């Protein structure tokens, strides 16, 4: 491999000749061999840095045209566009497990954009610190990248996946309207419910989770940029914070604004914690939905067997013909991961000491993993399971009429205690509710038929 010599304030460093990064990135690459090639800084953060560095150059050009010239603005903009597109991903090698402020990832962006910008300009035009990092600090750029990435993940990945699954459940509600089945509470027989009502609970849970995520977005759309090192805005021109937020909004098509208190924005990660709490709520509901589906599909002969789900692959290496609810299992494992991530996000956010949080990379790594996994798992569950759910009407009807909790319909006519005696007698002697009720003398056969209508109990 060929190398070139780069330098920083600590001296000279050898850097691979075919890479745009420079000395500080190389030092980090060598000093933190932790999870290399596996736990790389999320590409959503790389993308967000491209956006914020371009936005910063636009704001600086408006406020400091003598320093951020037209020529520099053009070169930076073109280099940032390549970062945003992902074309330069190979030039961002740093791992999550680095400095807790994300300083080295900020410098990685500064160095790559400067060197690529110089290549575009055909001369030594840009300096990583003086030009690309103008009016900024790692301490306000990394939290800004976190918020840009988090908002994009929720709006561009999670929301479309929720909407897709909600649409499938809405269709299933319409297709299964009027099918009455046994309800269940505590995993025990309960009073009847329609299958469409059961599905509506799944749909409504996802719609509420979407609403909760929407509530988390306004705080996430406040940006720390402009606070520089400790929140005072040292070395940033007046109005830079507002102009850079406007520029980020223009580049993303999302409405960002500057954080009103930069001291809070640098040290507190409460917005990320709140938003991830909504992701955890979504995970909890998805766990419930996936468990419902696999319980209802259990069998095929010795389980509930009230629904059919798609058979996607063999389920056993030893039991021929076995098929398992694998999409449900994948979705529930993702839910477990998200719940674990929530602990990491909360712990990381608690580590704001004085003017800066120094657990930011691990905080956003877990957040973005949760959003990405949830979005992908919902789409997989939808496309490979939910769209193919079909009611086993015969089994639903059998289970409904075999349920002892239909006795609840008799409460107004024979009272709670007599109804309980009827249910217990029917269960103990393995006879019907009607036979038990008549033998106990609570109702005649004719009167029982008049008042006992399970289909009307929903």
Asked whether residue 26 falls in the same domain as residue 113, the answer is yes
Picking from 392, 418, 442, the residue at the C-terminal end of a domain is: 392
- pLDDT computed for residue 60 by the predictor: 98
| Over residues 243-248, mean pLDDT | 98
- pLDDT computed for residue 321 by the predictor: 92
Asked whether residue 99 is assigned to any structural domain, the reply reads: yes
| Over residues 226-252, mean pLDDT | 98
Mean pLDDT, rounded, of the chain: 97
| Over residues 307-332, mean pLDDT | 95
Clarify whether 453 is annotated catalytic: no
With b for 16 or more beta-carbon neighbours within 10 A and e for fewer, the 413-451 pattern comes to: bbeeebbebbbebbeeeeeebbebbbeeebbeeeebeee
Asked whether residue 247 is assigned to any structural domain, the reply reads: no
**pLDDT tens digits for range 214-223:** 999 999 999 9
| Over residues 267-274, mean pLDDT | 98
| Over residues 255-262, mean pLDDT | 98
Whole-model pTM? 0.96
Asked whether residue 143 is assigned to any structural domain, the reply reads: no
Asked whether residue 284 falls in the same domain as residue 361, the answer is yes
Judged against a pLDDT cut of 90, whether residue 416 lies above it is answered with: yes
Asked whether residue 234 is assigned to any structural domain, the reply reads: no
Residues above pLDDT 90, as percent of the chain = 99
Asked whether residue 106 falls in the same domain as residue 175, the answer is no
**pLDDT tens digits for range 98-147:** 999 999 999 999 999 999 999 999 999 999 999 999 999 999 999 999 99
**From the candidates 85, 316, 350, 445, which is the catalytic residue?**
316
CATH number at residue 328: 1.20.200.10
Asked whether residue 213 falls in the same domain as residue 331, the answer is yes
Asked whether residue 38 is assigned to any structural domain, the reply reads: yes
| Over residues 429-454, mean pLDDT | 95
| Over residues 382-392, mean pLDDT | 98
Asked whether residue 407 falls in the same domain as residue 294, the answer is no
Asked whether residue 173 falls in the same domain as residue 49, the answer is no
**pLDDT tens digits for range 356-371:** 999 999 999 999 999 9
How many other CB atoms are there within 10 angstroms of residue 22's CB atom?
22
Asked whether residue 329 falls in the same domain as residue 371, the answer is yes
Asked whether residue 448 falls in the same domain as residue 410, the answer is yes
Asked whether residue 313 is assigned to any structural domain, the reply reads: yes
Judged against a pLDDT cut of 90, whether residue 68 lies above it is answered with: yes
Asked whether residue 193 falls in the same domain as residue 81, the answer is no
Asked whether residue 87 falls in the same domain as residue 10, the answer is yes
Asked whether residue 290 falls in the same domain as residue 366, the answer is yes
CATH number at residue 413: 1.10.40.30
Picking from 392, 411, 439, the residue at the C-terminal end of a domain is: 392
**pLDDT tens digits for range 158-176:** 999 999 999 999 999 999 9
Q: How confident is the model at residue 455 (pLDDT cuts 50, 70, 90)?
A: confident
Asked whether residue 225 is assigned to any structural domain, the reply reads: no
Residue numbers of the domain that contains 168? 150-219+262-392
Asked whether residue 142 is assigned to any structural domain, the reply reads: no
- pLDDT computed for residue 154 by the predictor: 98
Judged against a pLDDT cut of 90, whether residue 450 lies above it is answered with: yes
Picking from 101, 134, 167, the residue at the C-terminal end of a domain is: 134
Instruction: Give the total number of structural domains in the chain.
Output: 3
Asked whether residue 387 falls in the same domain as residue 446, the answer is no
- pLDDT computed for residue 454 by the predictor: 87
CATH number at residue 9: 1.10.275.10
Clarify whether 316 is annotated catalytic: yes
């Amino acid at each position: 491999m060929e190398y070139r010599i780069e330098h920083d304030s600590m001296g000279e460093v050898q850097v691979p000749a075919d890479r745009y990064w420079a000395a500080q990135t190389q030092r980090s690459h060598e000093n933190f061999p932790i999870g290399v090639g596996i736990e790389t800084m999320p590409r959503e953060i790389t993308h967000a840095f491209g956006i914020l560095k371009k936005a910063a150059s636009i704001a600086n050009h408006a406020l400091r045209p003598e320093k951020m010239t037209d020529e520099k603005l053009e070169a930076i903009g073109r280099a940032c566009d390549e970062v945003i597109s992902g074309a330069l991903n190979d030039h961002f090698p740093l791992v999550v497990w680095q400095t807790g402020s994300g300083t080295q990832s900020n410098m990685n962006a500064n160095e790559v954009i400067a060197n690529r910008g110089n290549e575009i300009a055909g001369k030594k035009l840009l300096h990583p610190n003086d030009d690309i990092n103008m009016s900024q600090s790692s301490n306000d750029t990394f939290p800004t990248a976190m918020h840009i990435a988090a908002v994009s993940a929720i709006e561009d990945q999670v929301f479309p996946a929720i909407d897709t699954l909600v649409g499938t459940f809405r269709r299933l509600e319409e297709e299964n309207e009027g099918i009455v089945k046994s309800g269940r509470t505590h995993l025990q027989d309960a009073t009847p419910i329609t299958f469409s009502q059961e599905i509506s609970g799944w749909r409504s849970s996802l719609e509420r989770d979407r609403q909760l995520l929407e509530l988390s977005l306004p705080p996430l759309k406040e940006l720390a940029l402009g606070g520089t090192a400790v929140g005072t805005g040292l070395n940033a021109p007046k109005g830079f914070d507002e102009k850079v937020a406007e520029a980020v909004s223009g580049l993303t098509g999302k409405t960002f604004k500057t954080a009103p208190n930069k001291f809070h924005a640098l040290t507190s990660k409460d917005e990320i914690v709140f938003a991830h709490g909504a992701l955890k709520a979504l995970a909890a509901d998805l766990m419930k939905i996936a468990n419902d589906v696999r319980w209802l599909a259990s069998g095929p002969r010795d389980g509930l067997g009230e629904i059919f789900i798609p058979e996607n692959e063999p389920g056993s290496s030893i039991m021929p013909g076995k098929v398992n609810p694998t999409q449900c299992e994948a979705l529930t494992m993702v839910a477990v991961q998200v719940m674990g991530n929530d602990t990491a996000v909360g712990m990381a956010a608690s580590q704001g000491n004085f003017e800066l949080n120094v657990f930011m990379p691990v905080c956003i790594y877990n957040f973005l993993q949760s959003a990405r996994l949830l979005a992908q798992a919902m789409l997989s569950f939808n496309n490979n399971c939910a769209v193919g759910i079909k009611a086993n009407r015969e089994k639903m009807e059998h289970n409904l009429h075999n349920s002892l909790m239909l006795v609840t319909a008799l409460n107004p006519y024979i009272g709670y205690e007599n109804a309980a005696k009827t249910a217990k007698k029917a269960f103990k002697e393995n006879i019907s509710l009607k036979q038990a009720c008549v033998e106990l003398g609570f109702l005649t056969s004719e009167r029982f038929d008049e008042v006992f209508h399970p289909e009307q109990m929903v």
